[in-house]
A = this chain, B = another copy of it.
Amino acid sequence: MHYAMNQKPSHVAGIKEIARALDISIGTVDRALHARAGVSHSTRDRVLKMAKKLNYRPNVAARNLKLNHRLKVGVFLPEQIALFYDRVREGIRAACATESGIGVDLVFHSFPRLGEGESNAIEKAGWQQFDGIIIAPGNSAELGPIFSKFEGQHKPVIFVTTDAARLPRLASITTDETASGGIAADLLGRVISSPAKVATITGDLRIQGHAEKLRGFAASLATLSPHLSLLPAIEAHESPADAYNAAVDLIKKHPDLGALYVSTANSLPVLLALEENGYLGKVLVITTDLFPELVPFIENGKVFASLYQRPFAQGKTAFEMLIRFLATRVAPKQITRLAPHIVLRSNLSLFINLVYNDDSSSLSI
C-alpha cells in the first residue's frame, strides 16, 4: 500500500515563455510583472493573466545575479551578559551561513548593556547604510525617532530578546515572558503541596519583559497554585550586590520561605546568599537562563529548574525573518514568542554542551 502526494507536477514558466505566448517582448513582460511605469493597462492584465496560467515563478538565482546587491545587516546587541548575547550572535551567524541565495554582509556592533548606549552605537555606526537592523532595544525612548525614520525608508527593524511595543518595528522575537513566569509558578505549586511563602527577585519592572514575567507568575500562582502566597517583588536592577543583599534580607524577614523565583540571569549572588545561610536545598528555587556557574546547582538539584530563553533560536529566527522580508517584502508575523525551555537536571546535558560547543546547525535550543 502506498500513497503518493505529488504536488508540483506542473511546469513552471519563466518570463520568456510568457513573452512568447503573448508575442510581446520580455522587457514588457518584466515591466508588467513588477508594476513598473510604461505599460498599458490592457497588456499588463494580459501578462498577469498569462503568468498565472503558465505558473510563472521568478528565477531567484537569475534575479540575484543581475541585481547583484549584497544586503547589509546591522546587529546591535549588548556586551553584557556576554554568554547570552554571544549565543544570539551565533544564531544570527548560523542563519547567515545557510543563506545560499543573496549575499549578506553582517556587521556587529555592541553597547555596554541593555538600554545603555544603544542609540549612540547606532548613530556612530551610520545606520543609514544598513538594509535592515537587528537589535535588543532598551527602554530608551531615544530609539523612537531613529526607527521611525528607518521605517519611513521601508527599512526593517527587528527586535530580539526583548520587545518594546511602543517603538516602531517590523517584528519582535522574544521568549514568552508571561509564560516563563507562569511556568515557574505552576511548577512550584506542583512540587510544594502545602501552603508556603513564595518570593520573586527580578531586575527592573520598568523593562517590559521583567514586568511580564512577574505578571505571569502572579497570575499563574493565583489560579494554579493558590496555596502559595506571593511576597512583594524585589528589584535587583541586575546588580550582583543588590541581589545578594536582597536575598539575605529576604530570608531574615521570612525564615519560613518556601520557594524563590529569580526571573533574570542575576541568580548567582542569590544562590550564594542562600548557601551561606543554610537555605540552599531548603528553599525551592527556579532561576532564569543558563551559564556555567549555574550548572552545578542544577546538577545537584539545589536549583530545581531554570527557564532558558533560547538565545540561539532567537538570533536565528530574527535573521531568517529579516532576510525573508528583504527578499520578498512580505511582512512577517509582527510578534513571535518562543516557548522557553525548562531546564532540569535530567535534560541539562542537552543545553549545556551547546553553550560551549556550537555546531551552528541546529535549532535544538
* Residues of chain B within 8 A of A103, CB atoms compared: 57, 59-60
Question: In whole angstroms, how far apart are the Cα atoms of A103 and B57 in the complex?
Answer: 10
Q: A100-B100, A317-B363, A336-B362 are in contact. Are A109 and B5 (CB under 8 A)?
A: yes
The verdict on A253 contacting chain B, using a C-beta distance below 8 Å, is: no
Pick the residue among B6, B120, B186, B342 that contacts A345 (CB under 8 A): B186
Interface core residue of A79, A100, A125, A185 (most chain B CB under 10 Å) = A100
A341 to B338, CA, bound (A): 11
A interface secondary structure, majority:
mixed
Q: In chain B, what residue has the closest Cβ to A108?
A: B5
Complex: chain B residue closest to A123, CB-CB: B2
The contact sample of 5 A-B pairs, CB cut-off 8 A, is A2-B125, A5-B110, A6-B107, A320-B361, A337-B364
Q: Is A121 an interface residue (CB 8 A)?
A: yes
Given A100-B101, A191-B191, A336-B361, also A109-B3 (CB < 8 A): yes
Most central of A60, A109, A313 by chain B CB within 10 Å: A60
Task: Kindly identify, within residues 25 to 82 of chain A, every residue whose CB is under 8 Å from any CB belonging to chain B.
Answer: 57, 59-62, 64-65, 68, 79
B2:A109 contact, CB within 8 angstroms? yes
Interface string of A105-117 (1 = CB under 8 A from B): 1111111100001
We find that the number of chain A residues with CB closer than 8 angstroms to chain B is 80
A interface residue numbers (CB < 8 A to B):
1-8, 57, 59-62, 64-65, 68, 79, 98-103, 105-112, 117, 120-121, 124-125, 176, 179, 182-183, 185-187, 190-191, 193, 220, 224, 301, 304, 313, 316-317, 320-321, 323-324, 327, 332-333, 336-342, 344-347, 349-351, 359, 361-365
Contacts of A186 in B (CB 8 A): 344-347
B100 touches A102 (CB 8 A): yes
